[in-house]
Structure 1
């Protein structure tokens, strides 16, 4: 379930050691870090980042003595999966803090809500794009910059006009508080859009 919702990979057995792949893929997978179960998890994540598609083939599984010889730790050996989303959260949090700080500064200088939103988002998006591209999704998609700023423009106006609309309804509410609420909602949707559209690579030859 974690693989499905955080990585977009629907895999019934993430820890199977029986995997087949082409000679071309060997060069990529030799660079994967980790040992044992950690390596298998990292391989699947890199498989996603490199744009390889995969196919699962059902086989019979035989466990000897209820699989007592296995050293799989569901917390320790799955931590890599959560690290991906954690890195996204950290990057988003840094960008979010910068965006809110800039928004507050521009509002203090009597900028309108829309203008303050646009300028703050453009500046904070430079940090967000660079870190997400190189540290989170590790994408080499040449069109990612164009896609990213299409997403930024759409979300920028959604954020700006939503805050403006809510501020008219809740007159006594602090405008920065309203912006935080709106942007938190956008944050979750943004993760899936960046993963599946902005930084997604074209699928390559089959693996598994």
Structure 2
């Protein structure tokens, strides 16, 4: 096990974290990734090195996601076979919580472990904005109900590091992308309650509420844009084929075939990060999903209109619902990036994943998602 700390423009709290970790667990390596902080922060990084940390990094700020991937690559090269616990550099994570997450990871091989804040005290508004936005998105497209989707205190198994290197996103959206892709890769996610610590109103955070919330929501926004573009293609082709063939049936089927092919290509390349699933496989899965959604649309519209809902309102409600369903299925199945076999195999050794919630040790059991 190692502790990985991405750091951008750190202060003395980074040095304190390194010192306290080394004092509490002398055999636990601590790796600090300098995310292009610049010469002004060299003394702080030198002090972290003197306190016992390995310091790596690069010139120019590239974002937390990039720093994490850089750190994972360093871990694979310098500490092969070691699980990785990530922690923030700004004092938000107590050493006892870092060690608690590490212990839970050791007890649940193959799982991603989140150190989740309970948000029971006063929470800075920009932290609330980011967590609420990402929590709603995650629930809508994966069904996972997590307490804290924005936590930087996490544990990743060593076997998962190659998969983590493929997850896109260079800034705060990266950690949400990991959670969005976990169900499709067969990676379980568990939570451990930790203390909620905000120093000086979280003034040291580099999270930008509007810009970074948009980044967090970007995957679903791209998907929605792709769907709208496909509808436009479908409409244009319907009109063109109707004129060329004079047959409404041919026009409807032809337009839907063209728009679906375009939508599949766009989603494969631009929405879900250039899926590694073979083209024919993803296209067959996409076609099966399209047929299923077509039937689901009919069922929903029939049920809603039978209940007295106006057709237009029913159509909008059905489309929004199935948009989220379609997004989740395409991410988790149609274009899924499988995790390394070793990581999934380790996770499969457990019969069920236990998710810790609340403060009193209350636990709920969730089957591992595949």
TM value normalised by structure 2: 0.42
Could you tell me whether the CA contact under 8 Å between 2:297 and 2:318 is conserved in 1? no
How far 1:82 moved relative to its partner? 1.7
User: What's the counterpart of residue 235 of structure 2?
Assistant: 100
CA RMSD of aligned residues (A): 3.6
How far 1:100 moved relative to its partner? 0.7
Q: How does 1:63-102 map to 2 (within 5 A)?
A: 63-102=198-237
Q: How does 1:171-190 map to 2 (within 5 A)?
A: 185-186=318-319, 188-190=321-323
Q: Structure 1 stretches of 5 or more lacking a match?
A: 161-177
Q: Which stretch has the larger CA shift, 191-200 or 74-83? A: 191-200
Change (3 A) 1:119 1:18: same
1:111 lines up with 2:247 in the alignment:
yes
1:145 lines up with 2:283 in the alignment:
yes
Q: 2:170 aligns with which of 17, 22, 34?
A: 34
Q: Determine the C-alpha separation between the residues in 2 that align with 1:94 and 1:23.
A: 40
CA displacement 1:68-105 (0-9 Å, x = unmatched): 33332332222223211121122112211111111112
Q: Structure 2 stretches of 5 or more lacking a match?
A: 1-135, 299-310, 348-354, 356-370
Instruction: Kindly indicate which of the two structures has a greater share of residues assigned to strand.
Output: 2
Q: Which stretch has the larger CA shift, 184-193 or 140-149? A: 184-193
Instruction: Kindly indicate which of the two structures has a greater share of residues assigned to helix.
Output: 1
Q: Determine the C-alpha separation between the residues in 2 that align with 1:183 and 1:126.
A: 24
1:58 lines up with 2:193 in the alignment:
yes
Q: Determine the C-alpha separation between the residues in 2 that align with 1:57 and 1:43.
A: 17
CA displacement 1:98-143 (0-9 Å, x = unmatched): 111111123334213x332111111211111111122213444554
1:128 lines up with 2:128 in the alignment:
no
Change (3 A) 1:158 1:59: closer
Change (3 A) 1:137 1:93: same
Q: Which has the higher contact order (CA 8 A, sep 6+)?
A: 1
Aligned residue pairs total 187
Q: Determine the C-alpha separation between the residues in 2 that align with 1:12 and 1:159.
A: 32
Change (3 A) 1:131 1:159: same
Change (3 A) 1:6 1:195: closer
Could you tell me whether the CA contact under 8 Å between 1:133 and 1:199 is conserved in 2? no
Could you tell me whether the CA contact under 8 Å between 1:41 and 1:81 is conserved in 2? yes
User: What's the counterpart of residue 39 of structure 2?
Assistant: none
Could you tell me whether the CA contact under 8 Å between 1:103 and 1:117 is conserved in 2? yes
Q: Which has more radius of gyration?
A: 2
Q: Determine the C-alpha separation between the residues in 1 that align with 2:141 and 2:187.
A: 17
CA displacement 1:168-208 (0-9 Å, x = unmatched): xxxxxxxxxx9xx96995475144134226526467365x9
How far 1:3 moved relative to its partner? 2.5
